[in-house]
Amino acid sequence: MSESAGRFGFVALVGRPNVGKSTLLNRMVGERVSIVTHKAQTTRQRITGVLTRADGQVAFVDTPGIHERESHALNRFMNRTAREVFREVDLAVVLLDATKITDEDRKVLKLAAASPVPVMLAINKIDRLDDRSRLLELTAELTEGQEFAGVYYISATGGDGVDDLINALVERLPEGPPMFEADQFTDRPVRFLVAELIREQLLLQLHQELPYGLTVEIEKFEDQQRRTEIHAVIRVASERHKGMVIGKGGSVLKRVGSRARMAARELLDRPVHLELWVRVDPDWMDRESRLRQLGFSD
């Protein structure tokens, strides 16, 4: 009946670690849906962020960065999550970092070539390029022998080119009613988002390999009259790691707790009481069955 029926669809964001998928998701949705750090392999599970506009709704699916080394069941789970997303969406965006093209990017492009849905290329971090004239050369090289639904040059942090990308995506989506309420910006429950905010602080406060060997679970999440009471467990692989997460006199854990509490307070828009425990669980990241128990599900 109406002349311009709205559009709805799922759009996957795919790419190697650290190219800026989660930053772009947050920018497009206008909320902090997915955690972002300077470290590779920040995102571990898919998370949907919803953008509702007058002409339609887009459900963006952020995925873990596709990476080469699959040393643990967790890595295999992450790569599988990213690879399989092509089959579950209407459109995919492959993200690249304009300042650095790697073998992992080439692997992602190869996967995209087999995609059952159209793929757009978004070349990100153009704000970091001194000489943008190189972009055309780079694009020619990357798209050689491969069809893309469009190529966009963007800065997920600065916002350059992002609106053009969104407009192009919406135009390509099928007509249909929105799946999410207009005020719902993610498919994940708030307790998942809080667990991620704690993990974000751990990634930022701990060095080198350590953050990769831990996971965060929410054991209690209770809205009380004046505040929300949250208890979380940080699972680590060894006693040594436990010591590092706690820090001298509890200093590291205290810092992580207070920063995560502030972030959770902002997210929930009410006071938060956050308690953290550290538990040793040597093979949590090596067994598929254990991962499923901990909520890593496809």
Q: At what angle do helices 251-268 and 190-205 cross, to 10 degrees?
A: 140
Tokens 């990476």 map to which residue?
Answer: 67
Q: Is 163 in the site for ligand GTP (CB under 6 A)?
A: no
Nearer to Mg ion (CB atom), residue 7 or residue 97: 97
The answer to whether 45 contacts ligand GTP (rule: CB under 6 A) is no
Instruction: Decide whether 199 or 241 has the Cβ nearer to Mg ion.
Output: 199
Among 1, 2, 3, 38, binds ligand GTP (CB under 6 A): 38
DSSP string of 162-173, one letter each residue: HHHHHHHHHHHS
Applying CB under 6 A, among 45, 155, 201, 205 the residue interacting with ligand GTP is: 155
Instruction: Give the angle 106-171-173 at the CA atoms, nearest 5°.
Output: 75
Q: Does 228 bind Mg ion (CB under 5 A)?
A: no
Chosen residue from 16, 22, 77, 272 binding Mg ion by CB under 5 A: 22
In the complex, what is the shortest distance from the CB of residue 254 to Mg ion, in angstroms, rounded to a whole number? 27
Q: Considering beta carbons, is residue 206 or 253 the nearer one to ligand GTP?
A: 206
Find the binding residues for ligand GTP in span 105-124 (CB under 6 A): 124
205 binds Mg ion, rule: CB under 5 A:
no
E strands present in the chain:
7-14, 47-53, 56-62, 91-97, 119-124, 150-153, 215-223, 228-236, 272-280
Strand partners of residue 232: 218, 276
The torsion angles phi and psi of 151, rounded to 5 degrees, stand at -125, 130
Is residue 186 near ligand GTP by the rule CB under 6 A? no
Note whether 211 binds ligand GTP by CB under 6 A. no
81 scored as a contact of ligand GTP (CB under 6 A): no
Q: Single out the segment in contact with Mg ion by CB under 5 A; choices: 42-50, 132-140, 208-216, 245-253.
A: 42-50
Among 9, 10, 28, 42, contact with ligand GTP (rule: CB under 6 A): 42
Q: Does 23 bind ligand GTP (CB under 6 A)?
A: yes
State the amino acid at position 158 in one-letter form: G
Q: How many residues bind ligand GTP (CB under 6 A)?
A: 24
- Span interacting with ligand GTP, options 4-12, 151-159, 257-265, 268-276, rule CB under 6 A: 151-159
> How far is Cα 143 from Cα 150, in angstroms, rounded to an integer?
10
Cβ nearer to ligand GTP, comparing 95 with 234: 95
Residue 43 binds Mg ion (CB under 5 A)? yes
**C-alpha closest to that of 118 among 161, 150, 82, 152:** 150
**Nearest residue to 50 (alpha-carbon basis) of 34, 71, 28:** 28
Residue 158 C-beta: closest distance to ligand GTP, Å:
6
Count Cβ atoms below 10 Å from residue 132 Cβ, excluding itself. 10
**Alpha carbon distance 132, 47 (integer Å):** 32
The sheet with strand 228-236 has its strands ordered as 215-223, 228-236, 272-280
Using CB under 5 A as the binding criterion, the count of chain residues that bind Mg ion stands at 4
The CA-based diameter of the chain, rounded to the nearest angstrom, is: 67
Kindly list the residues in this chain that would bind ligand GTP in the complex (CB under 6 A). Answer: 15, 17-23, 36-38, 40-43, 64-65, 124-125, 127-128, 155-157
Kindly list the residues in this chain that would bind Mg ion in the complex (CB under 5 A). Answer: 21-22, 42-43
